[in-house]
Amino acid sequence: MAPQLLGLVAVIGALAGIGAAGPVCHDEKDPVKVTVVVILASEKGDTIDKRLTAIAAEVRKLNPTFKSFTLKHMESKSLKAGSKVSWACVEKEVVNMVIKHGADKDNRVGLAVVAPSMKEIEYQTVCGKFLPIVTPYKTKSGERLILAIRVQPCRGE
């Protein structure tokens, strides 16, 4: 899995411009709005959901065999630092997440994520940026599970 993590780091850097950054918010007690997008990628076809165009382009840089991208599910929750949450995924799989800390002085939020078929990934991210995680999990129909996670630590966004 080490090559996937290296690829993940490259995708994080490449996606720095995706999403609109919100205002800086430094109150650790403010809730963090977390959005999880469940994406299924396939090596067959050529259909890309219009909402996934930018993410698909970045993911394809490291995974050029993916031809189709389908938005399966999207959900947002407002969570406090220290909260643990599970998100429904596909085929009874779940994504487990812990909000390690709210927005710090650099407006970064700390998350720990356990996706299907993966060990825990702990990272910090800025408000309004999607982080795609290409998992090794394949559905029964052979589609690859990709998660896109965004945090918005400021109220009113």
What does the pLDDT look like over 93-135, one tens digit per residue? 999 999 999 888 888 899 999 999 999 999 998 888 888 999 9
Residue 52 has pLDDT above 50, yes or no: yes
pLDDT confidence of residue 103:
83
Question: In the predicted model, what is the mean pLDDT of residues 57-77?
Answer: 95
| Token digits of residue 109 | 């939020």
Instruction: Band the pLDDT of 30: cuts 50, 70, 90.
Output: confident
pLDDT confidence of residue 104:
83
Considering only the C-alpha atoms of the chain, give the largest distance between any 2 of them, rounded to a whole number of Å.
Answer: 46
CA atoms of 57 and 49, how far apart (whole Å): 12
**Average pLDDT value for the chain:** 83
Of 34, 43, 88, 92, the C-alpha closest to 70 is: 43
DSSP 48: B
Residue 22 has pLDDT above 90, yes or no: no
Higher pLDDT, 59 or 29: 59
Residue 18 has pLDDT above 50, yes or no: no
pLDDT confidence of residue 107:
80
The rounded percent of the chain whose pLDDT value lies above 90 is: 65
CA atoms of 137 and 139, how far apart (whole Å): 7
Of 126, 107, 110, 111, the C-alpha closest to 26 is: 107
Q: Where are the domains of the chain?
A: 2-152
Backbone dihedral region of 113: left (phi > 0), alpha (psi from -120 to 50 degrees) or beta?
beta
pLDDT confidence of residue 153:
61
Residue 154 has pLDDT above 60, yes or no: no
Residue 29 CB neighbours (<10 A): 7
CA atoms of 133 and 131, how far apart (whole Å): 6
